[in-house]
Structure 1
Amino acid sequence: MKIQMTSIFVDDQAKALHFYTEILGFVKKHDVPVGETDRWLTVVSPDDPGGTELLLEPASHPAARTYRDTLVKDGIPLAQFAVDNVRTEYERLRRLGVRFTQEPTDMDTVTTAVFDDTCGNLIQIATQPQ
């Protein structure tokens, strides 16, 4: 068994697609219309195009919005992405205008930072020492 897909709830799929591809560097995998306004929209890592997909799912359901907004209010990231070096990625993303809610922080076995994805979520990046 393996994780094939996971999702995050976003306010605006077009804005999310721009942020996740143009800023974070993911690659669009699927973009299929669903209904009048929504899309089955997934992105993947360019380093693993056959790997786990991230579904940029509309946050239109009231339960999804409440869940996501409560996490943001409490400062809890909805997802975590692995990066080679948190400090390097933090500087790259800051130069692109990404707003961080937590600067790179060294913990015992991991270094993390948290940013706002502009689509309603907090996302954590992490590096574990080799």
Structure 2
Amino acid sequence: MTIRIGLTSVLVDDQEKALAFYTGVLGFVKKEDVPMGRHRWLTVVSPKDPGGVELVLEPDEHPAARPFKDALVADGIPYTSFTVDDVHREYERLAGAGVRFTQPPVSLGPVTIAVLDDTCGNLIQILHKAA
């Protein structure tokens, strides 16, 4: 039996705003958009791997979600990480698009990271591994 990750999620305060940021700024593409009452089953994927792991833009309405997210942000802890080909190049591209970073690129041995604000209540780390 092989287990693999098919879905992961990020808790967002506004699905439409999240979709605009994750597609229009970060560069993901929308995969699923299914109405579910007041919310949607809304996923995005990497354009380089449209059949790969889907990121669910999950509403943060559970009573524990916002305090959890607020605590992570207050402590500067990213909610999740995304891999990029070159953190420095992606930092320049995103900063040029108006994205606010809480941590500019920094080398941490085998990885280089930067941390950005996703405008939906989360800090997101981007990283690349040294060759």
Q: TM-score range by the shorter chain?
A: over 0.9
1:62 is displaced (CA, Å) by: 1.2
Aligned amino acid, residue 2 of structure 1 = R
TM-score for both structures, normalised by structure 2: 0.97
**SS of the counterpart of 1:48?**
coil
Instruction: Decide which of 14, 17, 27 is 1:15's aligned counterpart.
Output: 17
* Letter of the 1:44 counterpart: V
Deviations 1:46-66 (A, max 9, x none): 000000000000011111111
Percent identity among equivalent residues?
Answer: 64
Match of 1:111 in 2: 112
Q: Name the structure 2 match of 1:100.
A: 101
2:8 paired residue among 6, 9, 21: 6
Aligned position for 2:71: 70
Q: What's the offset of the Cα at 1:42?
A: 0.2
Name the structure 2 match of 1:79.
80
Aligned alpha-carbon RMSD (Å)? 0.5
Aligned mates of 1:84, 1:26 — CA distance in 2: 14
**Aligned residue number for residue 54 of structure 2:** 53
Normalising by structure 1, report the TM-score.
Answer: 0.98
Where in structure 1 do 4 or more consecutive aligned residues deviate above 4 Å?
A: none
- Specify every segment of 5 or more residues in structure 1 that has no aligned partner in the other structure, as ranges: none
Q: Specify the alignment match of 1:30 in structure 2.
A: 32
